[in-house]
């Protein structure tokens, strides 16, 4: 992928290709991923380069990513489980959910922790930093979709809690925004279809 940001507009780009990419970006469930198929370092660089071009108020660039592959996925599994144990009332505790948390990270080739790094000077409102990270994730997801790589954004409640923040060594003001499961689709997987309601029903034009 070429992320040249030289001067000059992109007017004239193939709008048809871009709209297709946007509409065909899909969440690919980890169960549909081939966990053993490696993702090259070159491709990771391209994905994070795409993320890095997200809009960012005040150029704070608040996105931070930690990639867990191979054995380190067990750290995520354990952190999810211990957060669930610590933060769930006994009456609400579901053993099957606990088990799943221990297994899910191994369904994908890699799990990426998504973090919003709070600007120490609080230059812009927190919500804008969260928005910027979401834009970065969308960029990454679009770039992944363009090469057929599966991505799934997962945000179980525990990923927002204190226990998981401790696991990620978050500092004051930082926030975990969930996990991205990343992996090549299993051979033969049909790229999923989705639907949206009418775009224009969510828009008001004022004369």
Ligand X SMILES: Cc1cc2nc3c(=O)[nH]c(=O)nc-3n(C[C@H](O)[C@H](O)[C@H](O)COP(=O)(O)O)c2cc1C
Residues that bind ligand X (CB under 6 A): 26-27, 153-156, 178, 194
> Measured between alpha carbons, how far is residue 176 from residues 23, 26, 37, 46, 52 in Å?
27, 22, 27, 22, 17
Task: State the DSSP H helix or E strand holding residue 83, giving kind and residue range, or none if neither.
Answer: helix 73-87
> Smallest distance from the beta carbon of 179 to ligand X, in angstroms?
9
> Smallest distance from the beta carbon of 134 to ligand X, in angstroms?
6
Name which of 43 and 130 has its Cβ closer to ligand X.
130
Name which of 121 and 195 has its Cβ closer to ligand X.
195
Name which of 29 and 123 has its Cβ closer to ligand X.
29
Name which of 123 and 160 has its Cβ closer to ligand X.
160
Name which of 74 and 155 has its Cβ closer to ligand X.
155
> Smallest distance from the beta carbon of 205 to ligand X, in angstroms?
26
Structure tokens at 28: 């690919």
| Exposed e or buried b per residue across 164-195, where buried means at least 16 C-beta atoms within 10 angstroms of its C-beta | bbebbebeeebbbbbbbbbbbbeeeeeeeeee
Residue closest to ligand X (Cβ): 27
CA distance 159 to 84: 9
Are 191 and 163 spatial neighbours (Cβ–Cβ below 8 Å)? no
- Cite the beta strand spans of 48-202 per DSSP E: 63-69, 110-116, 150-154, 175-185
> Smallest distance from the beta carbon of 48 to ligand X, in angstroms?
18
Q: Who's near 7: CB < 8 A, 6+ residues apart? A: none
Name which of 134 and 165 has its Cβ closer to ligand X.
134
Which one, of 177, 85, 91, lies nearest residue 136 by Cα? 177
> Smallest distance from the beta carbon of 197 to ligand X, in angstroms?
12
> Smallest distance from the beta carbon of 69 to ligand X, in angstroms?
21
């Amino acid at each position: 992928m070429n992320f040249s940001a030289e001067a000059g507009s992109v007017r004239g780009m193939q709008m048809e290709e871009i709209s297709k990419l946007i509409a065909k970006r899909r969440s690919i469930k980890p169960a549909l991923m081939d966990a053993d198929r490696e993702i090259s370092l070159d491709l990771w660089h391209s994905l994070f380069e795409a993320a890095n071009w997200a809009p960012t108020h005040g150029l704070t660039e608040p996105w931070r990513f930690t990639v867990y592959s191979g054995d380190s996925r067990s750290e995520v599994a354990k952190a999810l489980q211990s957060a669930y144990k610590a933060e769930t009332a006994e009456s609400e505790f579901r053993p099957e959910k606990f088990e799943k948390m221990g297994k899910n990270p191994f369904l994908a080739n890699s799990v990426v922790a998504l973090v919003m790094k709070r600007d120490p000077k609080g230059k812009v409102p927190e919500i804008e930093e969260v928005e910027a990270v979401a834009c970065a994730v969308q960029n990454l997801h679009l770039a992944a979709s363009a090469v057929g790589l599966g991505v799934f954004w997962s945000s179980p409640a525990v990923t927002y809690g204190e226990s998981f923040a401790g696991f990620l060594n978050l500092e004051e003001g930082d926030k975990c925004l969930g996990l991205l499961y990343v992996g090549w689709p299993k051979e033969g997987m049909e790229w999923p279809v989705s639907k949206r309601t009418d775009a224009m029903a969510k828009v008001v034009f004022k004369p």
